[in-house]
Amino acid sequence: DAKTTQPPSMDCAEGRAANLPCNHSTISGNEYVYWYRQIHSQGPQYIIHGLKNNETNEMASLIITEDRKSSTLILPHATLRDTAVYYCIVIQGAQKLVFGQGTRLTINP
């Protein structure tokens, strides 16, 4: 079973920041938070991951709360191509990924 909880769907206007929440209240100290997204009929795409510090790359920012029980993925300027299912996954090391249902993000023009 997935160790994370995400809202099933979200909407965001094009050009605005999309903030996707994820709860992982049972996360252990050596588990990372990974984010992937899956555009329709494609394989998942790696976005970002973090342990306890906030992270930023060319795609997104990851904000992890101090107690590490939740996190937020931020797409700073959402475009129509960001419409996808976003998966938040907690994992320790080189383990298998357990995908939950994710959040279906729809970017509206």
Partner 1 sequence: GAVVSQHPSWVICKSGTSVKIECRSLDFQATTMFWYRQFPKQSLMLMATSNEGSKATYEQGVEKDKFLINHASLTLSTLTVTSAHPEDSSFYICSALSGQLNTDTQYFGPGTRLTVL
**C-beta of residue 10 within 8 angstroms of C-beta of residue 63:** no
The span from the CA of 87 to the CA of 80, in Å, is: 18
What is the nearest approach in angstroms of partner 1 to the Cβ of residue 2?
A: 8
Choice between 1 and 66, CB closer to partner 1: 1
The span from the CA of 107 to the CA of 82, in Å, is: 7
Chain contacts with partner 1 (rule: CB under 8 A): 32, 34, 36, 38, 41-46, 49, 87, 91, 93-94, 96-102
**C-beta of residue 46 within 8 angstroms of C-beta of residue 89:** no
What is the nearest approach in angstroms of partner 1 to the Cβ of residue 79?
A: 21
What is the nearest approach in angstroms of partner 1 to the Cβ of residue 16?
A: 27
